[in-house]
Amino acid sequence: MLTVILLVISNTFMTFAWYGHLKHRSWTLLQAIIFSWLIALGEYCFQVPANRFGYGRFTGYQLKIIQEAITLVIFVVFAYLYLGEELRWNYALSVLCLLGAVVFAFWGRA
């Protein structure tokens, strides 16, 4: 559970680092890059421990798939609340299909 909590925190940081500047179109590209890199540093402070603690309990493949699923969920919330974008039906179905990868990654796991 600690791994998942750390991945949620790290992905929240990374979503803001990658996409937060889109709401601030008046920033120069250099400002956006510097701002994003400062946020990304926080992401690494949670991502590295999450993977270190989780590896062994999960395979590397499973850690990556968990991280991607968390990224999708966080991004949907971010895009809706922060960017003000609507979640259209085709986006929702796409997310559900990708979350199906999590089911397959853990299928038959003891």
Query: What CA–CA distances, in Å, run from 75 to 11, 26, 30, 106?
Result: 9, 23, 24, 23
Q: Mean pLDDT across the stretch 74-88? A: 94
Place of tokens 């798939």: 65
Q: What is the pLDDT of residue 100?
A: 86
Contact call for residues 36 and 79 (beta carbons, < 8 A): no
- What is the pLDDT at residue 103? 84
The answer, yes or no, to whether residue 110 has pLDDT greater than 60, is no
pLDDT at 106: 83
pTM score over 0.85: no
